[in-house]
Structure 1
Amino acid sequence: MFSKVMRPADGAAWVTGASGGIGRALCLALAAEGWCVHATARSADRLEALAAEAEGPGEIRPLPGDVTDAAAMTRAVESIAAERPLALAVLNAGVYHPMRAQTFSAARARQTFDVNLAGVANGLEPLLAHMSARGTGHIALTASVAGYRGLPDAAAYSATKAGLIAMAEALAMDLVDLGVRISVINPGFVETEATSVNAFEMPMLMQPEAAATKIVAGLQRPGFEIRFPWQFAAMLRLIGLLPNRWYIWAVRKALGWEGVEVRGG
């Protein structure tokens, strides 16, 4: 059902959120595998620096753009497809604003929704049209294990990642008949600028390069979900089966949430 695996010979790759963290490391890893990677983020300077670091048989081509601009995402897909087919796309751009009940901000929640959900939808529309017309291609959405159930400090973030998981599942039901594969990437904690603001200890924290290696390996295997580290993901899946009251207690205890200082918004 989810068996389609794309190779560099099938066309180009596109990665959003490429200027830092997982996206940056993923561009370098894909280029090392031989992909021509079109890297999108708002910062043209950071993309140029990233392109200069590419090693291996592939390359990285800067493609600046803002995922919240739907027209820009359509132009990005059209510019790539004008040169060669788009075989692989990883819609990875995202933001994280820590948010507890005491510091809840509708404005920051809205920004999170705009980037993490609407930003993905902006890329999906032209991608689905391009790949469905060709009857081939692979789209991966970077969600998170935070989308399994709500996690502390992640009121808006967990909501968007749960939405991405559900979106990928719903689209898979159609795409299986159209020859297009869709995957969801669910990382645990990865050391990035975003997670550096967390006020609690992050279990099994990974480096972006290690996360990128896991993602590349997952993209090369049949399947729908790419999750890592598997121990942490399995633990969250298991405790996610608990009744709400027990789940909330277990997560607070596991992440050392009790007594953590509340940060201002």
Structure 2
Amino acid sequence: MDENAMGERRSEARPPRISWITGASSGIGRALALRLARDGWTVAASARGNDELAALEAASCGRVISFPLDVTDKSAIDATVEAIERRLGDIDLAVFAAGTYFRDYAVDFDSERFHTMVELNLVGTARCLERVMPAMIARKGGQIAVVASISGYIGLPGAASYGATKAALNVMCEALYPELLSHGIKLSIVNPGFVDTPLTRKNDFPMPFLISAEVAADIIAQGLARGRFEIVFPWQMALAMKLLHTLPAGLRFRLTRRMLREPA
């Protein structure tokens, strides 16, 4: 048998790569699960919505397997990862997309709602990281992606809680990146702009450069394949936010004041 034929046989025998995606029942998480499944991955999909996960499984032709999970429950995260590893094997790629979003302003600021968002968007992600990093470090390989937002670049009216959690995710990933890379682990932070999802459909204001979840998933998959640290899109929105952040405070606040909602 020649070397080419042997190489083809080894390729055919290679087991599928395993991905774990949280927040997979809708939006970016769901679209990315389907995209990875089409690319040949076996996807462990986690979310709180059992019905939505069942529909995702059905749409994936058997490449997506449901592992229902609430990422605010640390013991449930441990049990879920154990179940994934027992059934599918080591997790090669972990994508943490679970999160929620609501708008808040000074006139209706609520610390309990703030706590809810921090617990899900930030602490939930940290708990998932805590669970997958040791195994990847031990085997000197793996890939992790954390879904944050362009809202983490700058404080925008209406995004006090949401933007705070996404800014924290950006800083956390930037701090972890050099150390994880030294262990052979690729870490990416995903910063989307406006993506058409059930959460953004609640917005009652114009959303510039809005893209579909499927387009977002394609961009993320391409960025992960290239090993990029930051995967940010659409570029027009990213550029606008980064330029806004560089402006002197007086000018920056003059612009952001225009984003305030009209008094009721």
TM-score w.r.t. the length of structure 2 is 0.90
More helix as a share of residues:
2
Distance in 2 of aligned mates of 1:18 and 1:93: 7
Are 1:261 and 2:258 an aligned pair? no
Q: Secondary structure at the match of 2:195?
A: coil
| Superposition map of 1:10-29 within 5 A | 11-29=17-35
| Superposition map of 1:162-177 within 5 A | 162-177=167-182
Asked whether the 8 Å contact 1:10–1:87 carries over to 2, the reply is no
Q: Secondary structure at the match of 1:176?
A: helix
Are 1:182 and 2:187 an aligned pair? yes
Deviation at 1:228, TM superposition (A): 0.3
Q: Secondary structure at the match of 1:126?
A: helix
Q: Secondary structure at the match of 1:249?
A: helix
Deviation at 1:63, TM superposition (A): 0.4
Q: Secondary structure at the match of 2:179?
A: helix
Counterpart in 1 of 2:45? 39
Q: Secondary structure at the match of 1:240?
A: helix
Per-residue CA deviation, residues 170-204 of structure 1 (Å, 9 max, x unaligned), is: 11121121111110000001112211222321110
Counterpart in 1 of 2:10? none
How many residue pairs get aligned? The number is 250
**2:71 aligned to 62, 67, 70, which one?**
67
What letter matches 1:81 in structure 2? E
What letter matches 1:246 in structure 2? L
Q: Secondary structure at the match of 2:168?
A: helix
Deviation at 1:37, TM superposition (A): 0.4
| Superposition map of 1:116-195 within 5 A | 116-195=121-200
RCO greater where, 1 or 2, for CA within 8 Å and sep 6 or more? 1
Larger-gyration structure (1/2)? 2
Asked whether the 8 Å contact 1:143–1:164 carries over to 2, the reply is yes
Distance in 1 of aligned mates of 2:78 and 2:236: 38
| Superposition map of 1:82-93 within 5 A | 82=86, 83-93=88-98
CA-atom RMSD in angstroms: 1.6
Counterpart in 1 of 2:99? 94
Per-residue CA deviation, residues 209-237 of structure 1 (Å, 9 max, x unaligned), is: 11111111111113200000011101111
Deviation at 1:9, TM superposition (A): 5.3
Per-residue CA deviation, residues 71-128 of structure 1 (Å, 9 max, x unaligned), is: 1112222222233111001000000011011111111111000000000011001110
Distance in 2 of aligned mates of 1:69 and 1:128: 18
Asked whether the 8 Å contact 2:21–2:43 carries over to 1, the reply is yes
Deviation at 1:262, TM superposition (A): 5.1
Which range moves more in the overlay, 244-253 or 118-127? 244-253
Which range moves more in the overlay, 190-199 or 29-38? 190-199
**2:236 aligned to 231, 235, 252, which one?**
231
Counterpart in 2 of 1:48? 54
Which range moves more in the overlay, 31-40 or 192-201? 192-201
Q: Provide structure 2 residue ranges, at least 5 long, that are not aligned to the other structure.
A: 1-13
Distance in 2 of aligned mates of 1:175 and 1:10: 24
Deviation at 1:159, TM superposition (A): 0.1
Are 1:207 and 2:212 an aligned pair? yes
Counterpart in 1 of 2:9? none
